[in-house]
Structures are given as structure tokens and as C-alpha cells.
Structure 1
Amino acid sequence: MNTILLLEQLLNGLQFGLMLFLLAAGLTLVFGIMDMINLAHGSLYMIGAYLIASIATASGSFWLGLAGGIVATALIGLVLEATVIARLYKRDHLSQVMGTFAILLMANEAVRMVWGPQPIQLSPPAALAGPIELFPGFAYPAYRLFIIAVGLLVAGLLYLLITRTRLGMQVRAGASNREMALAMGANVRWLFSALFAFGAALCALAGGMLGPLLSVQVGMGESILILAFVVIVIGGIGSIRGALLGALLVGLVDTAGRTLIPVFFRQIMAPDMAANAGPAVASLMIYVLMAAVLFFKPNGLFPAKG
């Protein structure tokens, strides 16, 4: 185990964690303020990735694809919220789960009909295609560094939005005490629509950023949606600060586990056993982390309520 490998995995974990934060930020606000369990959140991530890839291919520009896909996904989210999601706000959680799961299945089939069953390619911009030498002997992909920079920038802007603006004050009030926010005159209906569209835009941004690294394919939102829910449970429902810390923890633990645990197992057992046991144990690490956090902090690290 050398220093270069550890540093590389640290940066990979940071990059993955920040992309998880983009998904978890919108999800935790929808869950914390609207009391809405939205399983269709991962579908917006998938749709955003497909739209960005299609616009980028048609225009020949990754940046036009990214901007156009984010705007289009936000509009889709706004329409979805106004036509379907709004009808589920006052329903129980089981109805919300069943309703949004149906949206997830319909979104998968709609994407399959429009784009086909095969994955599509989303290439990073040419200027970010190569590695950057951070110090002698260690080069890291420029595009991954760009993802880290975008994630940190969005996290900083979200912090300013939540803590320094009137809208952010209403969001924090709604997450802490929804009934009191209503009593104080907050336009909750407009706030719900704006938050849902904002969450959809963050989903598209995450899909566009991860598209060149992961496959843009039907059903890509399900697995990452599970991780996003783990993030908000660890961080605390309704908390942006908790979502950021939870995402970074999950990103680092998941990346390090999938890389380092198989290496460790190869040192102590036969190669064929290590090949099977390593990935299996690594996939459990984030759930062990969640269980440990909930054991000591049942409401998460930074709950919005309480």
C-alpha cells in the first residue's frame, strides 16, 4: 500500500461524495420540508444524464449539453411536481412510495422507448480529457478535478443560499417546523415547487458530471438513489450540512472500501477467495457506517429538527 494509491483513492472518494451531495441535497430538502418520500428522484438523475448526452451530441459541445440538460430537467421536475407529486403531499408515506415508484418504472420505460435499451456515450470536454500532474510522480485526471471543483462550488453556493437569503430562511424554517412556517406566512406552495425544480436541476448536474465516468443507461438512477437515501439518513433529514458531511463520508468509505479491502484480503487469504469476499464486504461498508451513526445519533449527525 503506497502513498500514491491512498491519495488517489482519497480524491476519488471526495469526487464521488460531492456528486452524491448534489443528489442528496435536493432529496433531503424535499423529504425534510415536504415530508415527501420521492423515489422518482433517481429518475430525474437518469433523465438529466440522457438529456445532457443528447444535447451535447447534437450540438458538439459538452457545455451546451450540460446547460440545456439542467434547464430541461428542472422544467420536467416542475411539471412533474405540479401534475403528480403535489397530489401526494397529503397522502401517507406508503402512498408516496408506491406513487413515486410507479413514476420511476414509467420513466425507465419512457427512456427505453426514446433512446433505446443500449447505453449512450457522454464524453468529457476535450480540454479536460487528460491528466494533470499535481506533484512529481502523481498525475490525476483533469475531469475528476473539475468534478471536485464543481461540487465544492455548488456546496458553497448552497450554503450561502440557505444561510444568507430570505428563501433560505424559509427553507430552514420549513425543515425545522413546517406548521410554524405556514403560520408565519411562507408561500409554501411556491416553495415546494421551487425546491422540487431545484432538486431536479441538481440531479441533472450530477448526471452530467458522472455521465462521462459511469454508463448513461436505463435504470442508472436506482443504485445511486439508495446511496442518496443513506446519505440523508446519516447526515440528518432536512439538513444541507448533514447531507454534505454524510455524502463525503459515504463517498470516502465506499471508494476506499472497494479498493483497499480486496487488497487487504489478498494478503491474508487465497486469491480466489479474496476475489469473492473483497467486493462483498466492501459493498456492506456504507451500511455498517449508517448503522454505527444511527446507534450513537438516531436522528443523524446534523438533524434539522430538534
Structure 2
Amino acid sequence: MSLSLLLEQVLNGLQFGMMLFLMSAGLTLVFGVMGLINLAHGSFYMIGAFACAGVAMATGSFFLGLVAALAAAAVAGVLVEMLVIRRLYDRDHLDQVLATFALILVFSEGTRYLFGSFPLYLDVPPLLSGAVALPGGIDYPVYRLAVILAGGLLAVGLFWLVGHTRLGIRIRAGEADREMIAALGVDIDRLYTIVFALGTALAGLAGAIVGTLQSVQVGMGEPVLILAFVVIVIGGIGSIKGALIGALLVGLTDTLGRSLLPVAFAAFLPPSEANAVGSALASLLIYLLMAGVLVFRPSGLFGAVRA
């Protein structure tokens, strides 16, 4: 593999990692602060993708679609938290799993009813179309570079929000001792609603961004949700920094594994077998990475070590 192709795959891994960060940051906030196992988080990713696709096709503006994706996912998150999730905080995790799994079915069938069973396709906006020449002789798509940049800016924004604002102080305090901040007069129900809406909005934004790179279809959120869980296990539950590092590790491991392993096996296997074996092993790499992290850091790279 040439150096230019390797650098291109590294950039692809960063882009994939930034998308996973948007998905997993909301998930780790919800689980860390609210103690909620939310299997329906991937449904908000799907809602964002369909909202963006629908508005973009109706108006011709991808950027209006992004706004619609954020709004639709956040509003859906508020409604779900107030009508369903709020009743689950004092229940055990099995009840949370069953209830949020039921929400997956509701959202999937509701989306199928509104948009049909056929996939939708989004075009890259003209402003971000084309490619840009990078050092090393790489012509890389502008849109993918914009995704990397936007993910980095959002990561900085989340770090600032959690670390340097009054809301962030309450979020961190709610993660540490929710009973205490409730006793101090903080409206815990309102805080939970804000955190849940923030998490679902980030998931919706991730779905909207990916809508131009793959088809928008019912059930598209569940495979990404599995990877998001892997990310927060690697990074540590409740840690935004862990979500970012974990997402980048997973993105790079998955992308480079799918690129390098078939080439490595091609040295002693026929091309068709090398591709099959390399692709199969590449899909296992992120889980091997997770297992390796858990061996040495059971709480994740940046998770709190619990006594």
C-alpha cells in the first residue's frame, strides 16, 4: 500500500471516528448522568437522517436539513424522556432495556409509515462538493474534511459546555451525586430532560451527516449503536474525553483494518480469499481492542475507577 493511500485511509478513519464521537458522546452523557441504558439511541440517529433527507429534498438546502435533524432529534428526545424515560429512572436496568427496545420498534415502524420502506439518498451540498489537494498527492473530498473539522469543533464545544458552564457543573454534579444536587434545589427532572435532549440532538446530527455518505433507511441506527457502546466501554462511561479518544481509536482501527489486512493476506492467499479473510478479521479488530483495554482498564481509558 502506497503512503498516499495509507494517509487517505487515516483521514477516512478520522472522519468515521468523528461521526462515532457524535453518536457516543450523547450516549455516554445519558448513561453517566442518568444511569439509563438507552437502546433506542440509534433511533434518534435514524430520525436525524430522515429529517435531514426530507427537508433537504423539499427545500433543496442541505443546511436547512441539518437544522431540521437537530430539531427533530431533540424534540423527539424531550417527548420520549418526559413520556417514557422519566418512569424508568427508579427501575432496574432490565426494565430500561425492555422499554427502550420497544421504542426501537415504535420508531422503526413509525418511520416506515411516514417515509416508506425504500431508502432515501442525499447529495453532498455544492459548497462542500469536490476534492482538495493535500500534501502527499492526495485528492480528498471536501465534505469528509468538513466532517472531521465539524466533529473537532463540536468536541471543543462539548468540553467547554461540560467543564466551564453552570449547566456543565450541574451535569458533572448529577453524575457524581444526583440526590445531593436535588437536595440543593436543582430541578433534577429538568436537568435530565436537557441532558437527554442534548444526547439525542448529537445522535440526530450524526445521522444527518452520514446521510450523504450512505443511504438513509429504516434500521440504520442499530449497527452504529453497537459501535457507540464499544466506544464508551473503551473510553469510559460518562467521559466526553473518553468518548472522543475511544471513537477515534475505533474509527482508525476499523478503517485501517479493512484496508491493510486484505493487503497483508494477499501475500500468501489468492486475492478473493485474502479479501474475505481480511475483511472478516477486520470486523473483529475493534472488539479485540475493547477486550484489550478492559484487561488493563476495566473502567475504560478515562472512566472513573469505582471502589
Give the TM-score taking structure 1 as reference length.
0.97
Pairs within 5 Å for 1:186-201: 186-201=186-201
Q: Which residue of 2 aligns with 1:155?
A: 155
Secondary structure of the equivalent of 1:267? coil
Partners of 2:180 and 2:6 in 1: CA distance: 48
Secondary structure of the equivalent of 2:119? coil
State the Cα distance separating 1:58 from its structure 2 match: 0.4
State the Cα distance separating 1:82 from its structure 2 match: 0.5
Q: Which residue of 1 aligns with 2:45?
A: 45
Q: Which residue of 2 aligns with 1:71?
A: 71
State the Cα distance separating 1:7 from its structure 2 match: 0.6
1:13 equivalent to 2:21? Answer no
| Equivalent pair of 2:4/2:136 in contact (CA under 8 Å) | no
Which 4+ residue blocks in structure 1 deviate beyond 6 angstroms? none
Structure 1 unmatched ranges of 5 or more: none
Pairs within 5 Å for 1:166-245: 166-245=166-245
State the Cα distance separating 1:136 from its structure 2 match: 5.9
Q: Which residue of 2 aligns with 1:106?
A: 106
Q: Which residue of 1 aligns with 2:252?
A: 252
Partners of 1:136 and 1:22 in 2: CA distance: 29
Pairs within 5 Å for 1:257-276: 257-276=257-276
State the Cα distance separating 1:232 from its structure 2 match: 0.4
Q: Which residue of 2 aligns with 1:28?
A: 28
Pairs within 5 Å for 1:90-105: 90-105=90-105
Q: Which residue of 1 aligns with 2:85?
A: 85
| Equivalent pair of 1:18/1:248 in contact (CA under 8 Å) | yes
Secondary structure of the equivalent of 1:14? helix
Partners of 1:6 and 1:272 in 2: CA distance: 21
Query: What amino acid does structure 2 have at the position aligned with 1:245?
Result: I
Query: What amino acid does structure 2 have at the position aligned with 1:261?
Result: L
Change (3 A) 1:25 1:235: same
What per-residue deviation string (whole Å, max 9, x for no partner) do you get for residues 41-93 of structure 1? 00000011001100011011001111122112211110111001111111110
Secondary structure of the equivalent of 1:238? coil
State the Cα distance separating 1:305 from its structure 2 match: 5.7
Query: What amino acid does structure 1 have at the position aligned with 2:10?
Result: L
Partners of 1:163 and 1:236 in 2: CA distance: 17
RMSD in angstroms over aligned alpha carbons?
A: 1.2
Q: Which residue of 1 aligns with 2:298?
A: 298
Q: Which residue of 1 aligns with 2:283?
A: 283
What per-residue deviation string (whole Å, max 9, x for no partner) do you get for residues 6-56 of structure 1? 110111111110110111111001111111000000000001100110001
| Equivalent pair of 2:121/2:214 in contact (CA under 8 Å) | no
Partners of 1:294 and 1:185 in 2: CA distance: 38
State the Cα distance separating 1:241 from its structure 2 match: 0.7
Partners of 1:75 and 1:304 in 2: CA distance: 31
Partners of 1:296 and 1:215 in 2: CA distance: 38
Partners of 2:203 and 2:28 in 1: CA distance: 13
The alignment covers a number of residue pairs equal to: 306
Partners of 1:260 and 1:178 in 2: CA distance: 46
Partners of 1:90 and 1:262 in 2: CA distance: 49
Change (3 A) 1:136 1:241: closer
Secondary structure of the equivalent of 1:139? strand
Secondary structure of the equivalent of 1:100? helix
Give the TM-score taking structure 2 as reference length.
0.97
Change (3 A) 1:162 1:283: same
Partners of 2:180 and 2:142 in 1: CA distance: 47
State the Cα distance separating 1:181 from its structure 2 match: 3.2
Query: What amino acid does structure 2 have at the position aligned with 1:20?
Result: L
Identical aligned residues as a percent: 56
Query: What amino acid does structure 1 have at the position aligned with 2:219?
Result: G
State the Cα distance separating 1:262 from its structure 2 match: 1.1
Query: What amino acid does structure 1 have at the position aligned with 2:217?
Result: Q
| Equivalent pair of 2:14/2:251 in contact (CA under 8 Å) | yes
The more displaced of 182-191 and 134-143 is 182-191
State the Cα distance separating 1:177 from its structure 2 match: 3.1
Secondary structure of the equivalent of 1:39? coil
1:57 equivalent to 2:93? Answer no
